[in-house]
Structure 1
């Protein structure tokens, strides 16, 4: 199902300039469009709309070892709570940890890459509040974490 995710501010890249009233159209696990909310709402009339507070942007890449926790699942969830949607393969030598990452659909990368929101790209998004706390993490088009 197509979903239009929007927030008061949107960043296409982690260090990009935030722009107001923009949105990301997600179809399955892909970004279909990024642009002004008014234009996308008109072009895709009737699509499900998710309005989030804060700043919407690409999910984060975690470049170090996964946080310590009692179980591999909890280690992955600790990342999702921070808006992480991708990890480096070099930190997944433990088969149980790799299996937990695979089940969560986190993107596993061989090397760091610049993450951006772009049409055709994987739908990995995060919304952060004014205090930089992660409010929502979307992994491959699916809400994987939502702050209560």
Structure 2
């Protein structure tokens, strides 16, 4: 199935399956594919971002289930807060899936990590379609779901071009400078492996 994703500037991606079939102005892509579905988004299309804290956010952080909110709250738990929890593989896998969903709301399309030690986490990442980028050592800053939430520059995924994997995001900002200033909480949509995996309501 073909879909065009377009932003407020008229930039567009034609997506076929898990790949970007074409990149160009919306008018040109729509004229070449007059019957294709068009998703018009406010803001700017970007390659999406790599979160550098894959291990910390998915293997060393527990993301509570909403049904646990009365007992555990709604914020991710780390460090000493994890000590009182009994976390088997099933709970870690469910936590990782919720953590991934939270990452997607920030336009994350890949995670940087050392090899995951937990099979449940590896499976959750693989099934999500997120890209995985190797890293050496632990980043020196505090883990954040927002790729712009640390002192280091946000790492964009590879540029989107014809034939590349359909992994990108849309942010409701005027340009890249405003995105850097306001952060990835401005994300309105995230596409991974050609699928719309997050859409702000």
TM-score (norm 1): 0.84
Greater C-alpha radius of gyration = 2
Deviation at 1:27, TM superposition (A): 0.3
How many angstroms apart in 1 are the aligned matches of 2:39 and 2:156?
A: 28
Out of 32-41 and 64-73, give the one that drifted further: 64-73
Structure 1 unaligned regions, length at least 5: 9-19
Q: Is 1:3 equivalent to 2:27 in the alignment?
A: no
SS of the residue 1:75 aligns to: helix
More helix by share: 2
Out of 112-121 and 46-55, give the one that drifted further: 112-121
Q: Equivalent residues in 2 for 1:19-30 (5 A)?
A: 20-30=9-19
Is the Cα contact below 8 Å between 1:66 and 1:79 reproduced in 2? no
How many angstroms apart in 2 are the aligned matches of 1:91 and 1:126?
A: 25
Report the number of matched residues: 137
Q: Is 1:141 equivalent to 2:194 in the alignment?
A: yes
TM-score (norm 2): 0.63
Q: Equivalent residues in 2 for 1:115-126 (5 A)?
A: 115-126=158-169
**Per-residue deviation, residues 74-111 of structure 1 (Å, max 9, x unmatched):** 11111111010111241632221111111111111235
Cross-structure match for 1:56? 45
More strand by share: 1
Structure 2 unaligned regions, length at least 5: 65-94, 136-154, 174-181
How many angstroms apart in 1 are the aligned matches of 2:198 and 2:38?
A: 18
**Per-residue deviation, residues 5-37 of structure 1 (Å, max 9, x unmatched):** 0011xxxxxxxxxxx212100000000111011
